[in-house]
Chains A and B, each alone.
Chain A
Amino acid sequence: MSMAAEPWQQAEIPGPKKALVITKPEVVVAMLKRAKRPILVVGHEAAGIGLGEEKLIDYAIRMAKTARVPVVATAHTISEFLKRGFQPTSWMPAVDIANRLQDPEWEGLDGMGQYDLALFMGIPYYMEWVLLNALKHFSSNLKTISLDRFYQPNATWSFPNLSFKDWNESLEVIIDKLGGK
């Protein structure tokens, strides 16, 4: 973990309550293993961000398969998932999934109850910033994790600002260790 835990867009000053920094990828693994009802929200940038030989969305697919986490694709990201032969649990606008996650009466995509952990990746930084803040303020039973490369202070847990190399390695560790779930 090589870079600072401060907002990537410098003027987006957060707080007083800020995300705990994921200093080790095992933290994410532990959170996921502990969660009863996790969900992964993937935005359109995941299909454009290259990570080694793959795109971020490929990591999302591997993670979803390994940890058996339902996936919500935001914007038009569904098309990128389908191109890869992966069927997300659902797709809807980013504001819609945030709106549902902050609703204590929402029964989830499967009607089985609220989620207790939401992981985010691939939504434009400034948009994810405010979406996570909606959840920080209005969904007391939900914990959030940002898996993006840059520190998202309004998540419960977030990576610090990372180099591509560290980010790549962290995601690999998470997927690898989830395999033992």
Chain B
Amino acid sequence: MQMKIKELKTGIGVIKDLEISIGRVFEETWAEPVGPTPFPSLTDLREWDFQLLKRYQPLYMPFCDVCCLCTFGKCDLTAGKRGACGINMAAQQSRIVLLACCIGAATHIGHARHLVEHLIEKFGRRYPIDVGGLNIEVEAPITRLVCGIRPKTLGDLEDILDYLENQLTHLLSVTHTGQESSNIDFESKVFHAGMIDHVGLEVADIAQIAAYGFPKADPESPLVELGYGTIDSLKPVILCIGHNVVPATEIVDYLKENGLYSEVEVCGLCCTAHDVTRYNPKAKIVGPISWQLRFIRSGVPDVVVLDEQCIRTDALIEAQRIKAPVIVTSEKNCAGLQSRTRDPVDAIVSDLVSGKVPGVLILDPAKVGEVATRTAVEVAPSRKKFKAIPDIDEIIERAKGCTKCNDCRRACPQDLLIPEAISEVATGNLANLADLYEACVGCGRCENACPLGLPIHSFIVKAAEKQLKEEKFKIRAGRGAVQDVEIRNVGSPIVLGEIPGVVAFVGCANYPHGGKELAEMCSEFANRRYIVVTSGCAAMSAAMYKNEEGKTPYEIYTGAFDAGCVVNVGSCVSNSHIAGAAIKIASIFAKRSLRANYEEIADYILNRVGAVGVAWGAYSQKAASIASGCWRLGIPVVVGPHGSKYRRMLLGRKDREDDWYVYDARTGDRVYVGPAPEHLFYTAETKEEAMVMIAKLCMRPNDTMKGRAIKLTHYIDLHKRLYGTLPNDIHLFVRTVADIPITMKDEIIKILEEKQWKEGRIPDPTLLPRLIRKRKA
């Protein structure tokens, strides 16, 4: 708030030209005017949310019929019943979604806070934010859009984090018993959680890119090694698991400073693996989150370093089984271990190497670097890669005791036919068991369920040992942001529809049938000249399948953000660059004002930028919050069938014509534009369904006729190939005859006639009345 008083006469005297500012002081050198919603509160974007939620209404699919969050409960909320607090099932489901998104956002924002604090301590508050040199002027598009400020130094990021933490506290308080009562208002707050989550992602990644010198929007970022088979098990091996790369960088630094790098192998699982290869391309990625059990049990790691997020909470137990010391490094994940942060390194190493303690908590990253390295070097000779995987003879013998009770199968999220495979093993045939490896998500629930205590996951891993050891792939290190010049080049063809879409394969590895489906989808859309972007575990899975020439997608397709690319942006926090690219199209290409102008930019993206997020194996609360940030921004998200357990979809109804009108900003007319995009959050049953829907969701009201024809060509072609017939909703996506792909004209015209189709027009689309430039008299 600003207040200016020209002249104030009081009993004490006269005050002239008094100027008072309360709140944040915006940087004066940024000429762009501040938009309507700087640092938006919980309700500042409510009207925009309601616009979206009117069209994309929630379908609640409860995963639980009761509420057990307070001592009035449990309350049965079945079929219209209300709980003791008055809540109904719709509100309860949206409340749980909000809780999940708060958890996800808190995780990213907490990650960002720890990272920024550490980097400021190491590099100073004035360390400049440079994420792409001269190639990037808009260094933080989400932050500019949401907060209305332009961070220039690491210190500037602290102000942003203050805002995010403030909002997060309010959002979490909303979920308390007796607060919000409307499911639609809960949903609006879900969007808010997603939006601040995206800011948190961006803060974390631009801080680490700048300070650690990660690839800076580099289309030619190094090809790094990925896969179990790439790890040199003859060396001492340090395994880093999690998402916060700080301790891993200190390990790399210590090794380099002491001339040990060629003697010790540093590798990672999950996003820390991405980020350590961005820091040092000689580090290696073992694989996605689901490789944790199999890699630890293999005995290859000599020391296991845990930071935060997506780490198995039994990692310490598993590491003990292979006699590998554990170092936990985050105050968010102390694992019950004694803090040795202030102890001398010699004493800590001695205790770990001797096995006196199974692990330690060290909250000083530099000390982690030295302890991890020295421990790995000293413990490796005595460990001799001690493993927890049984040999074949033992597996066959123990399989003979299986009673086929089915408990393993009924515990398996994939419903894998484990009992049948174990029966075969008892006869000496391990082939069926090995076949389960591909679809196994590595959760280990089968083992917990087995009344005989058979280590079934280990059995599967042993049976597929050959396949595991042959996992040798290349992935391009996460490149970070998309260059401004790349946006200028593709902005026009994306908005006009000539590049058929931007498809981002993101998220975790809870796939219904293994990562192969994801790799197939990546290649399919890259071959069709979509812009394909990857991140996180999905980026790894995409790398794990080669073509006939033995090349992975990252070796086949360009790493430049252009038609037909496969671009790995990096870890979970790098997802910000995907949303950021959509925002930059509005800002750089279309020259829409970015600063604190959320609603207009989201409206632009929803109506013009054919971007779709695909989280085929999404499992986490973080994935939920990332998705919700996309929804508010107008980007649809497709999840795999396990994503149905997120318990709420946001679905359009193409059969309701009234839902698909927009304003023509040129005239103020309301114009029917068809169901584009049809859904905002949607779970697909199969890969085939997902592929058809991805192509469909890339259509936008603003597509030119040529662009729409291209997009329709892909949609119809995929539908015919995978469904064996033409789509039954083509008429809803043809606005004018010129939209019809030339090669399909006859058959589509016939359909249009059957459907009594009428020609429409292509407006300058917006949902916001205030953007109408000329009103009718």
Chain A residues with CB below 8 A from B165, complex form: none
Please determine whether B645 and A126 come into contact, CB atoms closer than 8 angstroms. yes
Please determine whether A95 and B411 come into contact, CB atoms closer than 8 angstroms. no
Interface residues as binary, A102-128 with B (CB distance below 8 Å gives 1, 0 otherwise): 110010000000000000000111110
Chain B residues with CB below 8 A from A91, complex form: 723, 728
User: Top 4 nearest A-B pairs by Cβ distance?
Assistant: A79-B724, A76-B688, A130-B61, A75-B685
Looking across the interface, which residue of chain A has its beta carbon closest to that of B512?
A124
Looking across the interface, which residue of chain A has its beta carbon closest to that of B686?
A75
Please determine whether A44 and B685 come into contact, CB atoms closer than 8 angstroms. yes
Q: Report 14 cross-chain contacts, Cβ distance below 8 Å, ordered by A residue.
A: A9-B415, A10-B407, A11-B411, A76-B688, A76-B723, A95-B649, A98-B59, A123-B685, A124-B512, A127-B683, A130-B61, A130-B647, A136-B79, A137-B89
Query: What is the bound-complex CA distance between A99 and B680, given in angstroms?
Result: 14
Query: What is the bound-complex CA distance between A90 and B654, given in angstroms?
Result: 14
Interface residues as binary, B625-652 with A (CB distance below 8 Å gives 1, 0 otherwise): 0000000000000000110110101010
Please determine whether B79 and A17 come into contact, CB atoms closer than 8 angstroms. yes
Query: What is the bound-complex CA distance between A82 and B725, given in angstroms?
Result: 8
Query: What is the bound-complex CA distance between A128 and B158, given in angstroms?
Result: 45
Query: What is the bound-complex CA distance between A91 and B59, given in angstroms?
Result: 19
Please determine whether A8 and B59 come into contact, CB atoms closer than 8 angstroms. no
Chain B nearest CB from A84 CB (Å) reads 11
Task: Tell whether B689 is near chain A: CB-to-CB under 8 Å.
Answer: yes
Q: Which of B62-70, B320-328, B432-440, B568-576 contacts A (4 or more CB under 8 A)?
A: B62-70
Looking across the interface, which residue of chain A has its beta carbon closest to that of B88?
A137
Cβ-defined partner of B63 (8 Å) among A10, A100, A130, A138: A130
Chain B residues with CB below 8 A from A90, complex form: 728
Chain A nearest CB from B57 CB (Å) reads 8
Interface residues as binary, A1-25 with B (CB distance below 8 Å gives 1, 0 otherwise): 0000000111100111100000000
Interface residues as binary, B115-135 with A (CB distance below 8 Å gives 1, 0 otherwise): 000000000000000000000
Chain B residues with CB below 8 A from A78, complex form: 723-725
Looking across the interface, which residue of chain B has its beta carbon closest to that of A123?
B685
Chain B contact residues: helix, strand, loop or mixed: mixed
Chain B nearest CB from A67 CB (Å) reads 23
Please determine whether A137 and B644 come into contact, CB atoms closer than 8 angstroms. no
Please determine whether A8 and B689 come into contact, CB atoms closer than 8 angstroms. no
A binding-site residues for B, Cβ under 8 Å: 8-11, 14-17, 43-44, 74-76, 78-79, 82-83, 90-91, 93-96, 98-100, 102-103, 106, 123-127, 130-131, 133-134, 136-138, 140
Task: Tell whether B722 is near chain A: CB-to-CB under 8 Å.
Answer: yes
Please determine whether B641 and A133 come into contact, CB atoms closer than 8 angstroms. no
Chain B nearest CB from A88 CB (Å) reads 10
Chain B residues with CB below 8 A from A14, complex form: 65
Query: What is the bound-complex CA distance between A11 and B647, given in angstroms?
Result: 16
Interface residues in B73-112 (C-beta closer than 8 Å to A)? 76-80, 89-90
Task: Tell whether B684 is near chain A: CB-to-CB under 8 Å.
Answer: yes
Task: Tell whether B340 is near chain A: CB-to-CB under 8 Å.
Answer: no
Chain A residues with CB below 8 A from B90, complex form: 138
Chain A residues with CB below 8 A from B653, complex form: 99-100, 103
Please determine whether A93 and B693 come into contact, CB atoms closer than 8 angstroms. yes
Query: What is the bound-complex CA distance between A131 and B643, given in angstroms?
Result: 12
Query: What is the bound-complex CA distance between A15 and B65, given in angstroms?
Result: 6
Chain A nearest CB from B305 CB (Å) reads 31
Query: What is the bound-complex CA distance between A126 and B644, given in angstroms?
Result: 8
Looking across the interface, which residue of chain B has its beta carbon closest to that of A82?
B724
Please determine whether A130 and B644 come into contact, CB atoms closer than 8 angstroms. yes
Chain A residues with CB below 8 A from B641, complex form: 124, 126-127
Cβ-defined partner of B682 (8 Å) among A16, A95, A103, A136: A95
Looking across the interface, which residue of chain A has its beta carbon closest to that of B654?
A96
Task: Tell whether B384 is near chain A: CB-to-CB under 8 Å.
Answer: no
